[in-house]
Amino acid sequence: MILLVELKGAPRHIHKRIRNMKYTYKDTIIDVIKSRATNTTRVIIKETPKGWWLALRVKMKAPSRLYRLVEMKELDLPSILLKASLKRRWTLTLERNVSKALKEVGLLG
């Protein structure tokens, strides 16, 4: 699993400091991505005890959000969703069937 810290409106010197952390903690930080259009810095971190510590350290530098990303395999998804992905068009019946299947599995709130 992976942690994602998204910093909104971080100044340039904060982004440079985080980018330099990538070389210090190269075993933990996977990537640092800067979006110029939205002025957002995204830091992708491995989920380890050191990664959680580092995520909180990065989160304190600017207004931010912390996400925990989980990889989904095809076998984790309902078969109705996989069948629906082969259809060319999205219909209301597909939406009902897929939402019902996702709720049963617990992927849709």
Domains of the chain (ranges, CATH numbers): 2-69 (3.30.70.260), 74-105 (no CATH)
Cα–Cα distance for residue pair 104/81, rounded to 1 Å: 12
CB 32, CB 41: distance < 8 Å: yes
Cα–Cα distance for residue pair 70/105, rounded to 1 Å: 15
For 15-73, write each residue's pLDDT tens digit.
999 999 999 999 999 999 999 899 999 999 999 999 999 999 999 999 999 999 888 88
Q: Is the pLDDT of residue 74 over 80?
A: no
The amino acid at 64: S
